[in-house]
Structure 1
Amino acid sequence: MAGVRFEKARRVYPGSTEPAVHGIDLEIADGEFMVLVGPSGCGKSTTLRMLAGLEEVDGGRVLIGDRDVTAVAPKDRDIAMVFQSYALYPHMSVADNMGFALKVSRVGKAERRARVEKAAAMLGLTDYLDRKPRALSGGQRQRVAMGRAIVRSPQVFCMDEPLSNLDAKMRVQTRADIARVQAELGTTTVYVTHDQVEAMTMGDRVAVMKDGVLQQVDTPLALYRDPANLFVAGFIGSPQMNLVDAEVDGDRARVGEGVGAYAVPLAPAVTAQVTGAVTLGVRPEAWRLLGAGDTADGLEAEVLVVEELGADSYVHVRRAGSGIDTLPLVVRTDPRALPGGGAVRGQTVHVAVDPADVYVFDTATGARLRA
């Protein structure tokens, strides 16, 4: 096994003047589970395919361990790919599908069977080895595809949105299976997804990309608690961070005018960095619904929708005095702790936030303004 390193790796597709990936620098430790996440077109799959040798590298280098593989053929890179399509041979049994690459490599029958059985035991496929793919569920077929990669004992696993064809319940189960198996094997893994929940629940670290540029790399919790910029703040977290336009007014950021106006105190170090427009970020759980007698310092808002999830409620509100095109704010609450069982649609409520829980961003640049 080995680590992976991208050194200013760049890819420009033929016919395009703008790089799909802008000179990415990223180091992935031996045995690490690294997730590349971002919206469609951000360059995450291109980055993975450069590692796998399926895309040319137009600048910089890609290394596996200490070996420069930039110009090495895919078959000689000692990596195993898992795609979103299972790509199983329908006429072969599960065991034959899993062991096919070993057969092509002329691995002996006894060793081939031993490797397949070991991988099947890890993936819960022992009872299905003699079945054909058509007799399996989508989740089981994806585990067969995983098993086909595992038996090869590669230096690196490359996984390109392997769960996108599964239903919601199966995705939850299969992502847990992949994370568990990767931890048991200790194989360096680079995993691509557009789903930030997958990224947060699976990766040792997460690399957030936008427009071919690496925005931030950190542990899932650090990305959530300490986003580097406006994009990362809005992308990481479910429901996403509430982002509100405001104006710096002295030592405060003012949201709205007249009825429904709300002011958040700012640290001097923040006001010294910017004048005019800022964007305030508040996580849904940082808002608190105020009681009827405690509204003086709260933001007045109308309840639009209440999502009841049992232990949590997501209350979608629109601040008073704002237009219908204003994005709703999402307030995460515990319905058991609210008078009368919680908020209801059409109700006027007041919400407030501790200034320490407010993130401040320069609207023009997206940069985080730190106290």
Structure 2
Amino acid sequence: MSAFSLEPQQIAWCAELRTLAAERLRPLAEKGEPGRVNRALVAELGRLGLLERLFTSGAVDLCLMRESLAYACTEAETALALQGLGAHPVHAYGTPAQRAHWLPRVSEGTAVAAFALSEPGAGSDAGALALRADVETARADGPSRWRLTGEKCWISNAPEADCYTVFARTTPGTGARGVTAFLVPADRPGLTGAALEMLSPHPIGSMVFDAVPVTADDVLGEVDRGFRVAMGTLNLFRPSVGAFAVGMAQAALDATLTHTAGRDAFDGKLRDLQTVAHQVAEMALRTEAARLMVYAAATAYDEGAPDVPKRAAMAKLLATETAQYVVDTAVQLHGARALHRGHMLEHLYREVRAPRIYEGASEVQRGIIAKELYASTGEAP
């Protein structure tokens, strides 16, 4: 961490977070049911004051939290991140009434939030959203009531969340424009869902909207400008997905250092084999490079730099691809023991795959980077 010139209190805080994750959060995570919201874990994150920091700190602090928690307890990291992802639109774009009702509960860990963007036919292509918001009543200055009809899929914390940031199409045929963000409580009539069994153990589900009523009081931001809400949220959280990945990569690297230093092989230790030593060096090199890019992107966000979308995309892309490489290499160097159910690397191997897909797949990040590069030269189409 010292490579980022962090203040001594930040370095101490990261160490404290790792200890908390190992001693207080991991036992709660281990008691949870895979694929279900672990409300005891979420509540403990609230008691520790970590959820409140989601709304009072900047991107760098968010990355420090996610990397430190991920190192020792990926379930705690993800529970924290999902609260932030689901409720950040309320914090940044919500009305005073929306913020007053939901943010204290999310911060305390007594309410679970979710970010409902993806659909069966619109995963990484957010502009292809098909969930309809049909106008039910209107007033002189615009619609005042809608009915949401359609489906959402691969939604983290669904169907158990207490509130959802839902993106729906209010104006057909307009691509990324014409989408509105709504804050939808889980108890709205016509809203149902089902859990999905996925590779990673996190709660993920589908949602069905059968003429779910929403009003102007449920709008986040402005009507037809919900894509700004989505992208504003993702520009903050994409670098922190990279921090999650870096935390996993560091855990895998440290485990590999310990294993290769102590494992007898070919009349010596594994570390004495040049091919092994070079692989470990490559793991460390890539992890540190990813970390630097993550924190550069987070700093750019906190400083309001104009190139945040490009930096955020670069950070997420490099860090998630790096973590996949590092964890896979760690498994290879550990051998069959790393494939045993319950081994730390077996757990990371399942965890590390999804971040290359969610919040914009790696291919989407490359597209964003290229678009931003050409735009900066005036050569954008």
**TM-score, structure 2 length as denominator?**
0.25
Based on CA coordinates, which of the two structures has the bigger radius of gyration?
A: 1
- Comparing both structures, which one devotes a greater share of its residues to helix? 2
What is the TM-score of this pair, normalised by structure 1? 0.26
